[in-house]
């Protein structure tokens, strides 16, 4: 399992789950999971992956 945000232990699967539960923006996913709200180191990768997953699920 690929961890995207190590501060909160958020994996790609967690992001996918958040999107599946009805979230539709990067900000909503960040808010819900906490991802990118810690050290910020993951924010670029989190952003890219979440955008890609959102566009795939649209
Ligand atoms: S790794 Fe995601 S906020 Fe630190």
- The pTM (predicted TM-score) of the whole model is 0.93
Closest CA to 36 of 2, 16, 6: 6
57 C-alpha vs ligand 1 centroid, how far in Å? 24
Residue 1's pLDDT is: 81
Give me the domain span that covers residue 33: 3-57
Here the CATH number for the domain that contains residue 20 is: 1.10.10.1100
> How many domains are there within the chain?
1
CA distances from 5 to 54, 55, 56, 58 (A): 17, 20, 21, 23
Query: What residue's CA is closest to ligand 1, atom 2?
Result: 5
Average pLDDT value for residue range 48-53: 98
Kindly state the tokens that stand for 57: 């699920």
Residue 18's pLDDT is: 97
Q: What would the pLDDT profile of 5-49 be if each residue is shown by its tens digit?
A: 999 999 999 999 999 999 999 999 999 999 999 999 999 999 999
Query: What residue's CA is closest to ligand 1, atom 4?
Result: 39
Reply yes or no on whether the pLDDT at 57 is more than 90. Answer: no
Reply yes or no on whether the pLDDT at 52 is more than 90. Answer: yes
Can you tell me the distance from the alpha carbon of 25 to that of 28, in angstroms, rounded to the nearest whole number?
Answer: 5
């Amino acid at each position: 399992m690929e961890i995207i945000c190590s501060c909160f232990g958020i994996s790609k699967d967690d992001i996918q789950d958040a999107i599946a539960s009805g979230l539709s923006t990067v900000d909503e996913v960040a808010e819900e999971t906490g991802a990118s709200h810690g050290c910020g180191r993951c924010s670029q990768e989190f952003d890219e992956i979440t955008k890609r997953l959102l566009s795939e699920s649209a």
